[in-house]
Amino acid sequence: MRHFVLRTKTRFIKFGLAGLAILTFLAAGAAAQTSPVVETGKFRLHKFEQPIGEETYTITRDGESLVVSDDFRFVDRGSPVPLKATLRTKADLTPESFEIKGNTARGSTIDASIAIDGRTATIREGKETRKAEVPARFFTIAGYAPAVIQQTLLRYLVQNKIGGAVETLPNGRVTLEKRGTDEIKIGDRTVALDRYLVSGLIWGRESVWFDKDLNLVALVGVDAEFDHFEALREGFEPALATFVDKAAADGMAALAELSGKLSPQQSGALAITNVSLIDGTSNKPVKDAVVVVENGRIKAAGPRAKVNIPKDAKIFDGMGKYLLPGLFDMHAHFEQVEWGPVYLAAGVTTVRDVGNEFEFMTSVRDAVKAGRGLGPRILLAGIVDGDGPMSLGVIRANTPEEARAVVDRYADAGFNQIKIYSSVKPEILREICAEAHRRGLTVTGHVPNGMDAIQAVEAGMDQINHIQYLIAPFVPKDYKPQRGVVPKIDFNSAEVKSSIEFFKKHGTVFDPTLVVFDWLFHPSEEPFVKFEPGAAKVPKELFAPINNTGLPPAAADYGRGMMALFTRITGELHKNGLTIVAGTDQVVPGHSLRREIELYVKAGFTPLEALQAATIVPARVMKMDKDLGTVEAGKVADLILVDGNPLENISNIRNTRYVVTGGRLYDCAALWQSVGFQP
């Protein structure tokens, strides 16, 4: 299968004489065999605009060939992410061999090589080797990193006078579309840089900038775990914010373009007939039901015999499907515009983004709200961290004054919550919570380092992300964790009982994100699609980062044990009346919310309770239950139609065929396909 390429008009890429000069030098130098070192360079690597590492490269000559050697490495929240790559090319930059090995993110690895012999390529990915026919024009590249390989790709296109698209090995197709020339100010000088959109290396697209000599200067996109990622050539770091702003503008343009190609199948006054209605409150579906929608809201819902269908309403035959409320994902990171169609395709009509770049996310939220972009309703929790080796992002609070300023900035921008990250100091946490509550915001997030979940709630946190934070209060105070050993928790112990009573008293809300641990802890020897069938339907750009994960055989039992423990803790919280809301922390776009709901049933929820954790419960938590969460007259028409009864088999929630968002009905298959997924 070829990589998805956005159907935009591809423009032929044109460069000046200065750009061609460097390529002529490379080719001529290779033949003359003068100095073996042709070029060196360094990129500074960032995540969420925070410096995290660097990439260094050297281009040398070996006979008539050029060899690009690269060392790419960063540290993400304490986890090293090293990657090495070597690309050998002919003088015209046509690849002869390529090897890449290491990590592309904290949880994703890559180990691949390609050797070209005439018109045949021998491709090794992990332990599997295959042969492939080499296209007349092609390039070897495997994802967003290293940056120098992208630089060499563009130079290859120019030297060989290829347009803005090329087939790639080990698979796929990459396109480059010129979007303009930007004047970038660096100190007292201004540099003209050509800006391009690149598709086919990541899911979605990157913004990249090249100078007149075809040196890659900046790259803004996402990494292999969907986090915002930036690479800047050494010396251009002061312009980071400028590059990020311009990339966000590209994203908004892409969102509008994508949305313009996806018209609703039905809109206006609408009557959805011939459905079984699961309204979100009852275990008994209403057979032969009708839901009438007017002006984006539900006018009536119930048995066909009791519902009056307006004369001007368009009739949509539900063909015996089950109609439910639209779903919430309460732990989203909406890192790129492609998430909009994917979420809707999966039946998710509301998301809570719990950590993102400020300017990007407010722009996306506002575009969707104004109808300029297609996607779910977006609620925002503004992330804040403190300084430390595990810090994330650039929005920090290390003093009471900074704490209040951060909260006020988010509140003024219409955020719904504050998201605490791991390096916030205890005394600063109290300041953040106090100011948030004063401004009418609730506080969710991680339990900061050095605190346990009870201490975090005592400091003012209203909600806790991720189930692992419940281990500390559930074990004896003298418990000493051991690496590779599953903690033993006595669920009848005083520690567990007192902790549960504490959280009940404080009304603490939990989003367990079991799917993240399902992904991280699954045995690497077992295909991830065994746990998450949706992993087989992703675009090629996503397949390796999602599937090249898991624990080695020696740690497989530990992983199973931890997953069983986290599932049990979630079930115990629910059984004791604590509030659970469904969230994913990404994993497999769109699909993982369904897996989260399935895991709740495995934890002891009834199918209705599991569905409510993704509908009416988060609606109540976010104080939106008057408008959302159930299928009732007067509420916003956020609806899904699925094949099969999820109250009988919760996995039928995977069979979403149509979604209604604000009264507009879309075909889910078309939404999936618009961003490269198989329906």
3-class SS letters over 19-67: HHHHHHHHHHHHHHCCCCEEEEEEEEEEECCEEEEEEEEEEEEECCEEE
Model confidence at 2, in pLDDT bands (50, 70, 90)?
Answer: very low
Confidence of residue 10 (pLDDT cuts 50, 70, 90): very low
Amino acid at 86: T
Instruction: For residues 341 and 255, state if they share a domain.
Output: no
Domain closes at, from 219, 241, 260: 260
Residues 522 and 662 reside in one and the same domain: yes
What DSSP line would sit under 631-660, residue for residue?
Answer: --TTSB--EEEESS-TTT-GGGGG-EEEEE
DSSP secondary structure letters along 411-439:
HHTT-SEEEE-TT--HHHHHHHHHHHHHT
Q: Number of folded domains in the chain?
A: 2
Q: Is the predicted pLDDT of residue 24 greater than 80, yes or no?
A: no
Q: Is residue 292 part of a domain?
A: no
Please give the C-alpha separations between residue 523 and each of 519, 545, 556, 599, in angstroms, as whole numbers.
Answer: 9, 15, 5, 17
Residues in the chain: 679
Whether pLDDT at 22 is above 80: no
> Is 471 within a domain?
yes
Tens of pLDDT, residue by residue over 268-292, are 899 999 999 999 999 999 999 999 9
More confident residue, 339 or 25: 339
| 463: in domain | yes
Q: Are strands 377-384 and 417-420 parallel, antiparallel or unpaired?
A: parallel
Residues 236 and 329 in one domain: no
**Are residues 332 and 241 part of one domain?**
no
Give the residue from 238, 260, 282 where a domain finishes.
260
CATH number of the CATH domain containing 647: 3.20.20.140
**281 lies in a domain?**
no
Q: pLDDT band for position 35 (50/70/90)?
A: low
Q: What is the pLDDT of residue 9?
A: 29
* 534 located within any domain: yes
Strands (E), 157-256: 165-169, 173-186, 189-199, 205-210, 216-222, 228-233
SS3 call for 563: helix
| Residue 575 lies in domain | 323-674
Q: Is residue 486 part of a domain?
A: yes
Do the beta carbons of residue 466 and residue 516 sit within 8 Å? yes
Residues 421 and 557 in one domain: yes
Checking if the pLDDT of 260 tops 50, the result is yes
- Asked if residue 165 belongs to a domain, the reply is yes
Q: Which of 242, 260, 278 is the last residue of a domain?
A: 260
Is residue 521 domain-shared with residue 620, that is, in the same domain?
A: yes
**Tens-place pLDDT, residues 51-97:** 999 999 999 999 999 999 999 999 999 999 999 999 999 999 999 99
Which tens digits make up the pLDDT trace of 644-678?
999 999 999 999 999 999 999 999 999 999 999 99
Whole-number Å distance between alpha carbons of 470 and 509 = 12
Q: Please report where in the chains the tokens 């109250």 appear, as a residue.
A: 647
Are 335 and 244 members of one domain?
Answer: no
Answer whether residue 3 is part of any domain: no
C-beta separation of 453 from 426 below 8 A = no
- From 184, 152, 179, select the one nearest 168 (Cα to Cα): 152
Q: What is the pLDDT of residue 540?
A: 87
> d(Cα 582, Cα 514) in Å, to the nearest integer?
9
pTM for this prediction: 0.90
Q: Amino acid identity of 346?
A: A
State phi, psi for 318 to the nearest 5 degrees: -75, -5
pLDDT single digits (tens) 535-589: 999 998 888 888 888 999 999 999 999 999 999 999 999 999 999 999 999 999 9
550 and 640 assigned to the same domain: yes
Would you state the pLDDT for residue 592? 98
Domain identity same for 241 and 338: no
